[in-house]
Structure 1
């Protein structure tokens, strides 16, 4: 099995992509690149069994409905001063599930800068669909939405403070912690890049998260949640430890 992890930024710069090959007793990082274009992601996806995209695949349904109603002047029932009303506009169903499961509050695709990456993702998903990939926003096809911070949390690794100006955890140390927690993961010649770039590191985590989704070791939407998740997207939150990724192949599920 080959999984692809993409840490998607708004532009090619800061977009990272990792390819991980899965063997019975180990996983090998076969490629790790920065400044990746949409075309390169689509081409690499042709060879992958599962592609983990670190980016929201859709917007909250109430937010979309509000924008549509506002466009035509049909907004009649709002609670602009209500925090709960605004929260429903800002966060997707899957964001709330991640919050309940991990206490991590995902960035809002409706009210935060991550929307710029999501704008790009719309075009990327269209390109992937045109290339023949099953773009099921629930993750049932080749493409699945992942969230490295939540995956790291589930795997007992530091998930805050390793990127940005307020960095208080060196992501180079996080690479060391990952290698100790997953001795079966071979970074090879790409270890230095992982230690230098948190974008590269996140793309490797996205590829590991994609493996969890591919083998049935990630949270899936219930039948009731699936209708909304098919529109808003669904984060494939791992359900168990890192060792599941090697030991749990019996739960393997398909892609396209």
Structure 2
């Protein structure tokens, strides 16, 4: 399953891929998902189901520390540092974002001090609801629900052009789309990102994505961790 999470339900898309012998059947995307619907969807994941969510699972540790210090009237953690560098570095980006930059050559959207922070807040509510219902989420992606980065995955898979199912089918001819689904993916960028997220979820299930190293594991449990597929083609997913 791939989820392209947005601040608004109208811009949130979900698609599902069913994997079989020699093929992968892609369901038509659906948009307009509310918080309660997403919670219900994720709660229904079976033992062999995996979900890739296009949304940071947490904020940078330094951002949280700075906001908490300011709220409490304590010294600003960046005191004595060059402020532009502090604001555009550890306040905006997580450790996993730095790793993603090294692997893909591009920065992901920062989860703090920008528009994406609102989406992270939406995910925090969804994750809390799931925790309250007995399904806590491992922010490292080790338990079938993983944070993914469709733009970075496309770079690593050589899909650098426009969002196009033609490019996907060329690289992965075993993809089978429901009637009319390809047109919807081609016309809706949110749906297309959900499709890429579902493909990355398959890579996560196979163990063929970036994982936090031992030194990064503790911070990943707080900030979240971006799962990027190993460089190369899509052929290995089948």
Determine the structure 2 residue equivalent to 1:18: 15
Contact map agreement 1:18 1:203 (CA 8 A) in 2: yes
Determine the structure 1 residue equivalent to 2:86: 85
Query: Under a length normalisation based on structure 2, what TM-score does the superposition of the two structures give?
Result: 0.92
Change (3 A) 1:29 1:79: farther
In structure 1, distance between residues paired with 2:183 and 2:80: 51
| Correspondence for 2:234 among 225, 234, 242 | 242
CA-atom RMSD in angstroms: 1.6
Q: Mapping of 1:146-157 within 5 angstroms?
A: 146-157=148-159
Contact map agreement 2:28 2:177 (CA 8 A) in 1: no
Higher relative contact order (CA 8 A, sep 6+): 2
Query: Under a length normalisation based on structure 1, what TM-score does the superposition of the two structures give?
Result: 0.85
Structure 2: tracts of 5 or more residues without a match = none
Q: Mapping of 1:1-256 within 5 angstroms?
A: 4-45=1-42, 46-48=44-46, 49-76=49-76, 78-79=79-80, 81-86=82-87, 87-158=89-160, 169=162, 171=163, 174-189=164-179, 190-240=181-231, 241-246=233-238
In structure 2, distance between residues paired with 1:75 and 1:24: 59
> How many corresponding residue pairs?
231
- The offset of 1:83, in angstroms, is 4.1
With 76-85 and 200-209 compared, the bigger mean Cα shift is at 76-85
In structure 1, distance between residues paired with 2:41 and 2:137: 15
In structure 2, distance between residues paired with 1:79 and 1:58: 26
